Amino acid sequence: MQRTPSPAPTKHHLLDTPAGRTHAVEQGSGPLVLLLHGFPETWHSWRHQLPALAAAGYRAVAIDVRGYGRSSRPAGSDHYRMTELVADAAAVVRALGEREAVVVGHDWGATIAAHCALLRPDVFRAVGMLGVPYAPPGGPRPSEVFAGMGGEEEFYVSYFQEPGRAEREIEPDVRGWLTGFYAALSADTMPGPDAPDPHFVTRAGGTLRERFPAGRRPAWLDDAQLDAYAQEFERTGLEGALNRYRAMDRDWEDLAGHAGEPIRRPALFVAGAEDASVGWLKDAIDAFPTTLPELRGNHLLDGCGHWVQQERPEETNEILTEWLAGLSG
């Protein structure tokens, strides 16, 4: 009788990086694939991809981005600039004894991954972006753009950019807030197009939470998954995670020399068709022929929201492994 091979063991590392330390979770052997999570998540968002990539013959490594989980949380938003996060990712590759990697990110992790390929093409030979497309540096100052996106109300990014404000909303009930935030952006629980109030803006003096879908939890978020996130943020707080939003104007200054620059590495984009980001960033997606000249896959998953690799893990794994296999061809 032929036995099914045992899954590759999971290894945890604390690696020396410019952040101080970076927590990395590894499974499998072969070419390195570095996985970067978004907000408000941790390495755990890649729990379905780690074994699938390992089984396909890759060394899959998911990290806690600086500010999250067991990675360092330096004080001050300047430490969360894009150049710092790219330096962390490159240092992880070196600390793992590798010279190059494919980098794949979701949400903020997608933006970090894109800038890894832009700024360090010597290290990152290909880039996959889930949920958020590549938009080249340049254009108006980010804080000015987001200030105009809420209409008469306040867009969530502007809300997050004010130090301490979102922390005061979230930290008294991390578990409840995360449940609502995940539900608001999941296809099976998000408010419908006829909802009276959009869930990504706040009224004057209000909170994001009051617009979340009450009493609903997406199918992918059982107690174990919610605990994995809530327990980490209850331990660390949210300031480190939110500092990424507060560093965006510094990115605009730091990256001015790369304004309009395309990524000249093989690329992949995957997003949920129900993800609001697809609408907000439609111009960036339409510009892919110019901004991603080596794009080798562009997928919108019907009936899927923002949390692509958790809402649709099997389909995401299939897309990723086929794309990775094609990189050697």
Both tokens of 323, joined, read 């794309």
Sheet of strand 124-130: strand arrangement: 10-17, 20-27, 59-63, 32-36, 101-106, 124-130, 267-272, 295-301
- Dihedral sign computed on CA atoms, order 62, 46, 117, 155: negative
Is residue 166 within 8 A of residue 159, CB to CB? The reply is yes
DSSP state at residue 140: S
CB 268 within 8 A of CB 297: yes
DSSP 8-state class, residue 212: S
> In whole angstroms, what is the distance from residue 197 CA to residue 201 CA?
8
Q: Which residues are catalytic?
A: 107, 306
